[in-house]
Amino acid sequence: MHSSAAQRSARLSTAPGVYFLTLGCPKNEVDSDRMKAAVLGSAFGVTEDPDAADIVVVNTCSFIQDATEESIQAILDVAASWLPRREARRLVVAGCLPSRYGVDLAEAMPEVDAFVPVTEEAALIDVLERLTGISDTATGAVPQPGASSPPSCPPRTVSGPSAYLQVSDGCHRRCSYCAIPTIRGPYRSRPLDEILEEARLLVAHGTREIVLIGQDTSSYGRDLHAGVRGSTHALTLADLVRAIARVEGLDWLRLMYVQPDGITHELLHAMASEPVVCHYLDMPLQHSSRHVLKGMHRRGSAAEFLRLIGHIRSVLPDVVLRTSLIAGFPGETADDVRGLIHFLEAARLDYAGVFSYSPEEGTPAAVMPGLPPKRTRLRRAQRVRDVADRIGFEKAASRVGDVVDVLVEGTDDEGAIVGRWRGQAPEVDGLVLIDRGESGEIVKARVVDSLGYDLEAEVT
């Protein structure tokens, strides 16, 4: 938390408390963090205790049907168990769910006081003021220096050693299974100077690792032009990586959501030449069958992806690779699944998130013929997942004996000290259990054992 915001929160001890319940992906976490920062710069306060809150903001996910159902259930739970406990409480629903369903959602959930779509989250304070009748003017609150920033580059409240940094929003791709363009709109890169300002702010407040995220980080700059290297050209992810990597005090820089067609020779060499950049790539492949990918409105094939992976490893021999895969897409055959498994055996990826296809209302794939039964989709996904996990476990076990840098994150629920090495992204790739270390430290440790994707190491 910014010190000025903390002072203001303490001074306004009677300010209505806002509790954030965040569902879904890291992009939602960043959105919630920005909204929290805006609240801390207003007449309201943030609380981590829902029982103490006057307002709950549920930041929802609606990427797939399961996420939509989880979000709806969370809203109903808050409405049933939290709202009635005290008079004048308010429930606000933000994020992807209102962006996707709009008026229909408002009619179905009269217990919700306000809906804030993704594109209107910067106006959250206006919504809260309208619901409560409280404003900076009404409270006599005086903004503290540094408590707020222009809406285009909001402050952050992250205080841990790792932080997500969103470089873009929306998507220009039209993958047939995906509702993201409907939810978040067209692709929009954030200006480079804004991103750098936020990166410096994060590092100044103790962040040691920055994780770049967006719907498609590889398309960064396609809608921006700037004078770089003495000429005007479209900015690229490679330009962004070089710029952030030179932020003073940053230790690790990690790239997520890099589409395979955006992994250029320039990007790989930028990663190789900047010491703070983790040799780690998250590249969503989704499948290896050319005809399944065509149905997804994506390009590629097993052979093309294997050539790309070979090229990546030729430039970054120690690279760690993650992907995401969908099984059970309309038109997928048993041969396609066998081909996907053969591809995984050949590619030897470190991590793979495997999902069964979920028909999403309003997407082209939802009405495509040849949809396998749900049971078949789940069975195929589990079969692919089992292979991916076996390979991933073998890759993790092969690291026993290695000495790695570990970013200490704190302790787990059982009190063990945990962290991550450069080959593990936050929340998705497992942890390193170590024998000693303080949160925020980067220590050298020798890997002595593995358990699935988790590693056990001793500080050297």
pLDDT at 234: 78
Q: How far is 208 from 271, CA to CA, in rounded Å?
A: 17
Q: Give the pLDDT of residue 136.
A: 63
pLDDT of 150 reads 39
The CATH code of domain 3-139 reads 3.40.50.12160
b/e burial code for range 282-298 (CB count within 10 A of at least 16 → b): bbbbbbbbbebbebbeb
Cα 261 to Cα 217: distance, rounded to the nearest angstrom: 11
Tell which residue, 199, 121, 105, has the closest CA to residue 155: 199
- Tokens 């969370």 label which residue? 74
Inter-residue long-range contacts of 5-11, CB under 8 Å, 24+ positions, other chains counted = 5/37, 5/40, 5/41, 5/144, 5/147, 5/155, 5/157, 6/40, 7/144, 8/40, 8/41, 8/141, 8/143, 8/144, 8/147, 9/40, 9/45, 9/46
Structure tokens at 79: 């409405």
State residue 225's pLDDT score: 65
Extents of the domains making up the chain:
3-139, 162-397, 403-459
Full-model pTM: 0.81
Residues of the chain with pLDDT under 70: 1-14, 136-155, 225-233
- Which CATH fold topology does 403-459 show? OB fold (Dihydrolipoamide Acetyltransferase, E2P) (2.40.50)
162-397 domain in CATH 3.80.30.20? yes
Cα 68 to chain centroid distance, Å, stands at 17
Neighbours of 373 (CB within 10 A): 9
pLDDT of residue 158: 74
